[in-house]
Amino acid sequence: MFITESELKSVAYGYQLQQIVENDSTIIQMAIDTAIEEASAYLSARYDCNTIFSRTGADRNALLLELCKDIALWYIIRLSNVDMLYEPVKDRYDRAIDWLNRVAKSVISPNLPLATDENGDTQYPIRYGTMDKQQYDY
């Protein structure tokens, strides 16, 4: 599993999470799954999301891991009182989405495995080549 419930302690205190979800671990798991799905939507055009999100422990990309935790916390915090850390969590969520947008637009290239086709060749969403030769008669 890419993110475990206990790893969310780096973005919120454990007692806060348990208060928000009323000790229901399924809510936390749904938030984690949603965060991974949202990140996959941005990364899937260029990167092998199955490989990325099946990694565990030290094999994971540390930055992507932290950003996914921020996104998961955003989906959890919606259940809480608005005054409970809403703005800092929203800011972190916005930064995570901004980073994913820049990756999707190829502005930045994180160290993640690239998507490959059935032959093992890297897939690029860029088409290259030339047009057919044109002849103009006047």
Domain-located, residue 65 = yes
Among candidate residues 37, 28, 27, the one with its CA nearest the CA of residue 5? 28
Q: Worst-scoring range by mean pLDDT, 33-42, 82-91, 92-101?
A: 82-91
List the domain range (segments joined by +) for residue 71: 5-104
Q: Taking the model in full, what pTM does it have? A: 0.81
In this prediction, residue 130 carries a pLDDT of: 78
Domain-located, residue 116 = no
Average pLDDT over residues 46-64: 94
Question: Which stretch of DSSP H or E encloses residue 100?
Answer: helix 86-104
Higher pLDDT, 81 or 111: 111
- The per-residue pLDDT for range 92-123, each reduced to its tens digit, is 999 999 999 999 998 998 989 888 777 766 66
Domain count, the chain: 1
